[in-house]
Every structure is written in structure tokens, then in C-alpha cells.
Structure 1
Amino acid sequence: MLSSRRNTRAAYRFLPKALNMMSDYPPCSTTTDKLASYPKAIRRLQSEGLPAKDVEHRTSKYLNNVIEADHGALKRMIRPTRGFQRMKTASATLKGFEIMRMIRRGHCVLPQPGATGEIRLVNQLFGLVA
């Protein structure tokens, strides 16, 4: 989810989506940066019973290094574009970058091998008709 703000409301909207995506593998811990909105959103969600009460919230920046290192490659691809003017453009561009990275890393099952399978998967994910 892409958001223009990093407040409690945005965190509260994001976290259930992330947890639902991983519903088959419930987390034993959650790692975030030290932004004050995350603990508030996590406590609110725990009171609603979404993540279990025993899920640990970790805020050490060193535990987040793997994720930040992964974002580094994405930031290097975005830098030549000089940022984005609108959220719609940012969302579509980042979605495309992430889909191509998933395909290249083998994180998804292609409907067909080769470039044809990649094209069909992208069309399917973006809702395009081939």
C-alpha cells in the first residue's frame, strides 16, 4: 500500500492488509522503524484481536536491514525518474517495478514459460486484455 502520510491512521489501514496477506503464516513478531504511529496502530489492532496479543513488536533498525537493503535497489531504479508528481503515477510505477522483480527472482508461478508467460502474468495483474 502506498500512502502519502505515515500517521497512525495509515499504519492502521496498512497492517491488517499485510496480516491478511500472510494469514496462513501468523507472525510471531512485527518489525518496524521507530515511528510512534506503529505501536499505537498495533495496540489498536491487538485490542480488536487481529494479531495475537503475544506478537512481539520490535523496533531495532538492525532487524529491519534486510527489508531496507531490498528497498535500496528499488530506490536506485526510481532515482533517475526524479520522483513522482502524483500518487497514481507512483503507485502504478512501483507496482510495475515490483512485479518485474518478483518475476526475475522466481517468486511467482508463470502461466507459461518465457517472455509470453511474463507478459500474460503482467496483463493479468494489471487487469489488461491481451
Structure 2
Amino acid sequence: MRSRDGKVATRFFRKVLKATHPQTPRVITVDKNAAYPGAVEALKGDETLTAKTELRQSKYLNNIIEQPHRNIKRLT
């Protein structure tokens, strides 16, 4: 992971988490970018995220609608 990518990912998560949410996220699902684990650990370190927040990296779960062969994609 390049440090610039980690800084950008951390800034992105801070911006998203700054918005009003009824509760802190339990699970954050992202793609397999190597910058995300470091960014989430940095946010846990400065207590922006709780220690219980789980990072789930999956190639497809974060954006199901973009999968090319799903029925919903054909319908839309």
C-alpha cells in the first residue's frame, strides 16, 4: 500500500462518517483495495470508529448492482 492511497482512504472514511447516522457502522464492506485495512485501523486508533467495527473485504458484496450477469442488471 502506498501511503498516499492510505491517506486518501482515511479521508474518504472520515467524510462518510461525518454525516449524520443513527448509529456507528457494525460492518464496513469494501473491495479488496489494500489501502482500506490501514485506513480503518487508523480510524479505530483515533476512536472515530469503535473497536467492534468489522472490515469485510469482498470483491462483489460492496456493489452487487454492478455485477454484469445479475438479473437486476438485465432488468435495468
What's the RMSD between the two structures over aligned residues? 1.9
Query: Aligned runs of 1:1-130 on 2, under 5 Å?
Result: 7-66=5-64, 68=66
> Comparing both chains, which one has the higher relative contact order based on Cα–Cα distances under 8 Å and sequence gaps of 6 or more?
2
Runs of 4+ with deviation above 2 angstroms: 22-25, 65-69
More helix by share: 1
Q: TM-score, normalised by structure 1?
A: 0.44
More strand by share: 2
Compute the displacement of 1:67 (Å): 6.0
AA aligned opposite 2:39: A
Gaps of 5+ in 1: 1-5, 70-130
Q: TM-score, normalised by structure 2?
A: 0.72
Gaps of 5+ in 2: 68-76
| 1:94-120 per-position Cα deviation (integer Å, ceiling 9, x unaligned) | xxxxxxxxxxxxxxxxxxxxxxxxxxx
Q: Percent identity?
A: 39
